[in-house]
Amino acid sequence: MKAGRRDATQVQAGVPMNLGNIHSKISREFSRRLDRLQPRDKVRAIVMLRAEGNGGGAGGGRPSRAERQEAAGQISQAAEAALPEIDRILKRFEGHRLAEHPNAVGAIPVETTVGGVIALADADCVKTILEDQNILPITELNG
């Protein structure tokens, strides 16, 4: 049992690290895993940036290829605009981007400390943070 750990709020780079609380932009499961780590432990995460396009909207039906490309371009531009803030946070928490640019849906993989994940979740330009998990094949059972 981790006596006293949940009662103490640690601070790293000016950000309170109350790891027992669940942040609305971080899944409950990821928060629990983060809670078991130390604030300076490194983790990989996928940061979904607030990069909404117009969504294709009210007309219903499937958007044309040109409309989809335009929406992807808008998302990409909005996500790129958030990168300076993401980079500042990552620098404060000894982290870095794992890709040069966000993908077509405004996601960028990062490696940072537990404290860095919490600080990223507090940023207005971040929509949500996902745990970057390895995907492994299911091994066949020989019966």
Q: Return the CATH superfamily for domain 10-131.
A: Peptidase S8 propeptide/proteinase inhibitor I9 (3.30.70.80)
CA–CA separation, 10 vs 17, rounded Å? 5
pLDDT at residue 93, as a whole number: 96
Distance from CA of residue 7 to its chain's centroid?
A: 26
Ranking 22-36, 96-110, 129-143 by mean pLDDT, the lowest is: 129-143
As to burial, measured by CB atoms within 10 angstroms (0-12 exposed, 13-18 middle, 19+ buried), residue 11 is exposed
Ranking 10-24, 64-78, 120-134 by mean pLDDT, the lowest is: 10-24
3-state SS assignment for residue 44 = strand
For the cut 90, the answer to whether the pLDDT of residue 19 exceeds it is no
Parallel/antiparallel/unpaired status of strands 42-49 and 126-131: antiparallel
> What pTM value is reported for the model?
0.73
Rounded to a whole number, what is the largest CA-CA distance in the chain? 58
Give the residue extent of every domain in the chain. 10-131
For the cut 70, the answer to whether the pLDDT of residue 142 exceeds it is no
